[in-house]
Amino acid sequence: MTKTIRRFFALMTAVLISASVLTACAGEETEDGEKKLITVGFSQVGSESSWRVANSESMKSALSEDKGFELIFDDAKQKQENQYKSIRIFIQQQVDYIVLAPITESGWDDVLKEAKDAGIPVIIVDRQVDSDPELYACWLGSDFTSEGEKAARWLEGEIAEREKESGVKHDKVNIFHLMGTKGATAQLKRTEGIEEAVKRNPNWEITASLEGDYTEAQAYEITMDYLKKNSFVSAVTDENGNVTETVVYPRIDVVYCENDNMTFGVMRAFDEAGIGYGGKDGVIMISFDAVSSALEACLEGRINLCVECNPLHGPRIVSIIDLMRHGVMPEKMNYVDEMCFSYRTVTEDMISSRAY
């Protein structure tokens, strides 16, 4: 457990015990004995990935009526303007709390100020915002910098291991990089991870850096497009005059893909093109999120590394709201602990216990 999270949960437990609120229901009783639900407006990014779907489900089941909440859920369909609209509606509705999963880091000052002026605390979840921290109560999510660093360090180790196993040094390492939504913390920090590693390794090169917007469909299309535009047909004539044509694709040694769904899109494109990937000999596939279908692919050796990004924030948001209801300001930044799964070490048990 990181220091911040340890502190956060220790404090939370103390407050909850002393206030005797260790009940399943967070709602408060009104004077006439009725239960008053806590209203929470949640502006969600969209439903672009399996991670996001699991995150929405986690929020809906943790902030349910039987647990004392009225959740007003808004899917922004990956458009920041929609998030502005929903936050302004939450303010008009005078919700008790606003939870914002921001699409990108920038552009939040005005709406956050409006919420603050209205006296509604805002909890930022998942990606971060670059606004003045005074404008929101706290942030909760993944350590995206650490995710990028772990992926890059693992790749250095994997290349060294392959060189040892084969006795052949890599002259060059060509990296095909698929980015998530530009300007999202998950994109900025994961991209930073691989870019820093390229600076450390002179024979590494990012030969393509394309935007897949975290969706499988877009990743598939841009990968196909890249392969078509950068391939050529090689024709070989044998002694009988028979011509054999082969499509030669650009050399790719590593795919660094900033979420699982985009990795699935790349895998589909590679399958169609006949490009071998995964295992100890194919293109090294690095993916982020570690949803169970990606871990299955990792177990089969089709993905080499899954870097975990945990979407189960619903109960964590409930804990933060519980703290705030009892007058305790949570830590400003609350990081969730996460791990990596390599094709060399992943096991069936790790996948069967997966909740998403």
Q: Is 147 in the site for ligand AHR (CB under 6 A)?
A: no
Kindly state the smallest distance separating residue 194's Cβ from ligand AHR, in Å: 15
Residue 74 vs 114, nearer CB to ligand AHR: 74
Dihedral sign computed on CA atoms, order 57, 58, 63, 66: positive
- Binding test (CB under 6 A) with ligand AHR, winner from 76, 186, 254, 266: 186
Please, what is the end-to-end C-alpha distance for the chain in angstroms?
Answer: 21
The residue among 12 and 123 lying less far from ligand AHR, judged by its C-beta, is: 123
Q: Residue 225 carries which side chain, given as an amino acid letter?
A: D
Q: What is the CA radius of gyration of the chain?
A: 23
Interface with ligand AHR, residue 288, by CB under 6 A: yes
**Binding of ligand AHR by 341 (CB under 6 A):** no
- Binds ligand AHR by CB under 6 A, chosen from 56, 259, 287, 292: 259
Least distance (Å) from ligand AHR to the CB of residue 242? Answer: 48
> Exposed (0-12), middle (13-18) or buried (19+): which is 4, by Cβ within 10 Å?
middle
Q: Is there a contact between 67 and 25 (Cβ–Cβ < 8 Å)?
A: yes
- Look up residue 48 and give its DSSP letter: -
The Cα diameter of the chain in Å comes to 96
For ligand AHR, give the closer residue by CB, 59 or 186.
186
CB atoms within 10 A of CB 157: 11
Query: Which residue in 48, 216, 253, 322 binds ligand AHR (CB under 6 A)?
Result: 48
Q: Could you tell me the smallest distance in angstroms from the CB atom of residue 267 to ligand AHR?
A: 16
The interface with ligand AHR within residues 77-136 (CB under 6 A) comprises 126-127
Pairing of strands 243-248, 232-237: antiparallel
Identify which range of 47-55, 169-177, 201-209, 297-305 contacts ligand AHR by CB under 6 A: 47-55
Contacting residue, 49, 287, 292, 319, with ligand AHR by CB under 6 A: 49
Residue 289 within binding range of ligand AHR, rule CB under 6 A? yes
Alpha helices by DSSP H, the chain: 3-18, 50-62, 80-92, 109-117, 144-166, 185-200, 216-229, 260-273, 292-299, 314-325, 348-352
Beta bridge partners of 316: none
Task: Return the sign of the alpha-carbon dihedral for residues 307, 221, 249, 192.
Answer: negative
Binding footprint of ligand AHR, residue count (CB under 6 A): 13
Task: Give the contact letters, 3-42, x = binds to ligand AHR (CB under 6 A), - = no.
Answer: ----------------------------------------
The least distance separating ligand AHR from the CB of residue 124, rounded to whole angstroms, comes to 12
Q: How far is the CB of 88 from ligand AHR (least distance, A)?
A: 23
Looking at residue 251, what DSSP letter applies? P
Chain residues that interact with ligand AHR, rule: CB under 6 A: 48-49, 51-52, 126-127, 184, 186, 214, 259, 288-289, 309
